[in-house]
Amino acid sequence: MIAVLLPPPLSAPGRVHTLAPHLDEHGLHPVLPEIPDDDRAPYAARYVARASLETGRRLPAEDPRAPLALVAEGGAGPLLGAVGAAQRAAHRPVHAYVFVDAWLPQPGSPTRTDIAARQSPEGTVPDMPEVPEGYLTESLPAVADWPDAPCGYLCVDPAFAHVAKLAGMRGWTVREASQEDAGPALAELIHALR
């Protein structure tokens, strides 16, 4: 199985790329799409398009239709359904969706502000670094038939414990891990979702 590790949007700092060596050790082939050009509107559409193109470009030539586990971190979480739909449209089977300290998709076309306010324990938008105008208020793409594969949540940062609880309430498999154990925990979660 191939694990596509999707970084947070707007080149925000993240840890998902540091987990790749651990996945190789557990029989998963990591793919790390680079998404450098999602800093102009429409932000979500640019992210989804670039993630999909880069995923296809980085798949192993010997098995371009291998099953995928899409792994999203941070603000990439609400876009995971749209990225999955793009993979299905390209005839690439998605076998699992994994969120690593990520916001969850919501039905309809919510904004990032809506999602953060609904999923934060205080019901408010947490402090966010400076983002381009319109980024937080653009409507995110909706995917009607999502999820179409098992979903899991890996909570490494305690600030996302409430979101992990929400994932558990959806019936998803939830794991907690320390920073040091995040790589093996992610590999184990992906295998468990298969």
Q: Report pLDDT digits (tens) over 37-62.
A: 889 999 999 999 999 999 999 987 77
- Among 179, 192, 194, residue whose Cα is nearest residue 22: 179
Q: Report pLDDT digits (tens) over 77-136.
A: 999 999 999 999 999 999 999 999 999 999 888 999 999 889 988 766 666 668 899 999
Write down the pLDDT at residue 125: 64
For CA atoms 84, 85, 91, 96, the dihedral sign is: positive
Write down the pLDDT at residue 130: 81
How would you class 62 by CB atoms within 10 Å of its CB: exposed for 0-12, middle for 13-18, buried for 19 or more?
exposed
What pTM value is reported for the model?
Answer: 0.94
Q: Report pLDDT digits (tens) over 66-88.
A: 899 999 999 999 999 999 999 99
CA distance 21 to 4: 13
Contacts of 57-60 with CB under 8 Å at 24 or more apart are 58/31, 58/32, 58/33, 59/2, 59/31, 59/92, 60/2, 60/29
